[in-house]
Structure 1
């Protein structure tokens, strides 16, 4: 097993058969000890965060598998806190695709002069470049094409998949009286087939979710609410 990359929240290994293993950590992104799914740095370590993230990710990836949505998921091992996935090529050095149902986080910080916090956005999709040094800047369809990162045709597919996946997650959470405000997804190309696929994870660490009273639900509490665990 070869260590490929040590990430903020996961370490990445190549297995002998060519597949990839993701080892989930208890580190979460944030600043000054406060969790923030959009942050570029590890803000704190929360015991059990890795297993919680993997449990949710496995649940949602298996839901997507049932709906024939292309992902990198193969299988998970909750005891080892690992997930085996297909080998995929990132777009450029990595893109983050955010689907926003409500104006919160960086969207509200940028555009607060034109909207109220929590204002409905109807699944607005935006793409940012993964670049810690430059603060993960947003990028347009035309710029992605001009820089040969994603073609205009691929962008249409990227947007469609993002809205489809985000709506599935939103519906699942709504069944627990939870509201999805935004979610961050990542995509790549399957190295074996060149097909566009969802990669990385779908967990409390890459979404903002609120309860029926408008109170924010922390990632570990979100997992317990989703699976009806006692809090």
Structure 2
């Protein structure tokens, strides 16, 4: 594609304008960060792998009634997306206790959460993306009560679809982060990406707590074989997608 203006560069992607005002180009990077960018590195091939995984999952979710910003992929590490105004919240869905939830509550890693827990985090690097209560969100006018209800409903539905899909991949969906945006008609669309960068994924065929990890925790915790884990997720997603789209 011809060169276009860079609009924004984040931790994992660079966003460019295109010849169409309502369409943007996301370039997925190999850069890796953790702990609010205090730890930095590179995961070889990550951009292309995550782009392919996200594209397949977006298409699968679209086929199951979830509106997304995905359009197509003009290159292996590039995704054309509908322009949206991002809601400044990270919506985290947790099926199993892990990570910060265990650190903050004392819950044992691996505790199954019934029902799944939905949390809202303020997208603000300077503040460290803090967890916010519903009342704080409303006080800060980050979303309306109706939008919060819609975000929760969509997140739980996405969780149902992804849990079933990853189960067919032989993977347990532990938890994941979602971002949403509003298009020009004020429709809520799933945005950003769904990938091993934004999900905790455990290999069902492994019982060892370290060996089962198939996501960015391998980078966070210096477990090694990060690229291999990401590649394995991609291979399983590609092998499974055709059997469930539209199902």
TM-score interval (norm. to shorter):
0.7 to 0.9
Tell me if structure 2 keeps the 8 A contact 1:56–1:203: yes
Once the two structures are overlaid, the 10-residue window that deviates more, 181-190 or 129-138, is 129-138
Of 70, 74, 78, which aligns to 1:77? Answer: 74
Matching of residues 164-179 of structure 1 within 5 Å:
164-179=157-172
> 1:129-148 maps to which residues of 2 (within 5 A)?
129-148=122-141
Match of 1:223 in 2: 234
Written as runs of structure 1 = structure 2, the 5 A alignment for 1:20-99 is: 20-30=24-34, 39-41=35-37, 43-79=40-76, 81-91=77-87, 94-99=88-93
TM-score by length of 2: 0.82
Aligned CA-pair RMSD: 1.6
1:33 corresponds to: none
Counterpart in the other structure of 2:16: 13
* Deviation, structure 1 residue 58: 0.5
Secondary structure of residue in 1 paired with 2:214: coil
- For structure 2, the 5+ residue unaligned runs are 216-229, 241-247
State the SS of the aligned residue for 2:175: strand
Q: 2-side partners of 1:85 and 1:227: how far apart?
A: 21
Pick from 176, 189, 193: which aligns with 1:183?
176
Q: Are 1:180 and 1:209, in contact at CA under 8 Å, matched by a contact in 2? A: yes
* One of 94, 97, 102 as aligned partner of 1:103: 97
Q: Please tell me whether the aligned partners of residues 104 and 117 of structure 1 are also in contact (alpha carbons under 8 angstroms).
A: yes
Q: Secondary structure at the match of 2:200?
A: strand
What TM-score, normalized by structure 1, do the two folds share?
A: 0.88
CA distance in 2, matches of 1:130, 1:67: 28
Q: How many residues align?
A: 215
Q: Which runs of 5+ in 1 are unaligned?
A: 31-38
Cα distance, 1:74–1:131 mapped onto 2, change above 3 Å = same
Task: Decide whether the 8 Å contact of 2:30 with 2:47 is kept in 1.
Answer: yes
